[in-house]
Amino acid sequence: MDGQIEVSELEVSDELVARVAALDIAKASAMVCTRVPGGGSRKRQEIQKVGATTAAILELADHLICQGVELVVMESTSDYWRPFYYLLEDRGLACWLVNARDVKNVPGRPKTDKLDAVWLAKLAERGMLRRSFVPPAAVRRLRDLTRARAVLTADRTAYKERVEKVLEDAQVKLSTVVSDIFGVSGRAMLEAMIAGERSPRALADLARGAMRAKRDDLTEALRGRFDTHHGYLIRLYLEDIDRLDAQIADLGVHIETAVRELDPAGPDPGNGLRMPLLERLAEIPGVGRVTAQNILAETGFDMSVFPTPGHLASWAKLTPRTLQSGAKNTSGGTGHGNPWLRRALGQAAVSAGKSQSFLGARYRRLVKRKPKKKAQAALARNLLEMVWQLITDPDARYHDLGSDWYERRTDPDRRTRELVRQLERLGNTVTLTPSPA
């Protein structure tokens, strides 16, 4: 027989958890399967339908406690799992949230809520499930704030785009000259047009600062067919933009306070000079305060959940899957992961890739031999691993290796030989003449 034989000793156990409960959750109710020891080697199985109201869930919690249930598992079905998880957890029960993709029923079996609950309970008692990451309540509240800010920011962008569409309808090409039509100069011109000013020159004279050098171009761009109808629509959109600006700023204050209260480092009791976690994360190129807040809200502040940086990157779906079939080894896609975290890391990776730093140099090296999105995903993983290190070690600081780090590690003679071989393969004869020192 060819090949290698892998031999290992495994401890086999038919039952890892003696008393389990599994919930198959819908919007208005849940099917609960409880499996506890019965007479002899048999299990006593109980299945019941429970409403999704607070009173029904608390009654279920008391029943499970009386049964001595050690573990409660449930699928992550939309947001319907949240009241069950939070209320049962508050009553002291050990709750696990599991990915529905990992607990699919055996093909060919009938699929009902009752059978799904039984199958989930059997998997749980044999230790065949992986627990999904659910942060503590304080971090969940921070998540709500940062996600609300992201939603409002997207809404504000949508209103700004609507203003741009109205200007295009009025044949006003302000955005072709002004990079930000909602800046000081652009906003002054918009307010003047709403108030009834129609003279392109008078509107161009409202430019401030460096924009005054473009008054001739502004005069041409502001020559259109703007009327009262366009002014009414833009006034509506500007009021919404101002309202969203105020709400986003207020959310920013609450987020700063929440992050400061959750910071595990805190002041150093020795000398009081320990830097807050948020400021240490903001030192990474491409990661500002807002991005750092978004990352912390999704990962949490306790890295004991992720033993290594690789575990955190794998949870965020920033590591390609290995696919092996015979002698063929390939890599699959990374998967979807947490969309809020991936969005924050993606924005940080794009910004870091443009910087004159080690991360920028790494991105420029990667993008030469990989598609742009794969290079950005690789840089996002590097950023997330740095975040793991900084959260784990409260005294760690980001130290940039410099944009010339790769050049400093390159052997000039070896690089010269490689370039000469490339030119010779193209049919050239190369003669090297050393330049003066």
High-pLDDT (> 70) share of the chain, % = 91
> Which segments within 203-338 are labelled E, that is strand?
322-325, 328-331
pTM over 0.95: no
Element (H, E) at 374: helix 372-392
Q: Which residues of 333-353 are buried (b: 16+ CB within 10 A; e: fewer)?
A: ebeebeebbbebbbbbbebbb
Q: Does residue 3 surpass a pLDDT of 70? A: no
Of residues 331, 313, 329, 315, the one with CA closest to residue 377 = 313
At 351, list the tokens: 């910004």
CB atoms within 10 A of CB 161: 10
CB atoms within 10 A of CB 122: 17
DSSP 99: -
Rg (C-alpha) for the chain, rounded Å, is: 30
pLDDT at 65: 92
pLDDT at 113: 81
Q: How confident is the model at residue 267 (pLDDT cuts 50, 70, 90)?
A: low
End-to-end CA distance of the chain: 64
Beta bridge partners of 74: 23, 97
Q: Does residue 14 surpass a pLDDT of 70? A: no
Q: Which residues have a Cβ under 8 Å from the Cβ of 281 and sit 6 or more positions away?
A: 287, 292, 295, 296, 387, 390
Q: What is the rounded CA–CA span in Å between residue 97 and residue 118? A: 16
pLDDT at 437: 65
CB atoms within 10 A of CB 83: 16
At 115, list the tokens: 């059978």
Burial of 410 (0-12, 13-18, 19+ CB in 10 A): exposed
Q: How confident is the model at residue 404 (pLDDT cuts 50, 70, 90)?
A: confident
CB atoms within 10 A of CB 26: 13
Q: Does residue 146 surpass a pLDDT of 50? A: yes
